[in-house]
Structure 1
């Protein structure tokens, strides 16, 4: 099991995700899964390995622009 430090998102990552998902009406597709809310995206990212988390985060960041 991964320790809490490796599972958590950094503060800048959390802030950007909140901005991306605030008031969103169309989902962002990352890793083939739709995410419409910050909470759903955060839970998904925290369940990934650090490398996969970074890749999925970057995909969300690019598609959220």
Structure 2
């Protein structure tokens, strides 16, 4: 499954929409996503599973790139 992760660059940073970044990651569930990213020191705001039409829409974005962790 592909997940979209919305996050802040620093773990102590308060979520502000203008500073929110996103990345795409392949994992079996949300728990695995959080485990894979725990050493990055980021503040994970939201983890969203992408499938069907939503995944197709995200793939159209020039920023769509699934990361290897």
Same fold (TM over 0.5): no
Q: Normalising by structure 2, report the TM-score.
A: 0.29
Normalised by the length of structure 1, the TM-score is 0.30
In terms of fraction of residues, the more strand-rich structure is 2
Higher relative contact order structure (alpha carbons within 8 Å, sequence separation ≥ 6): 2
User: Rg bigger for which structure?
Assistant: 2
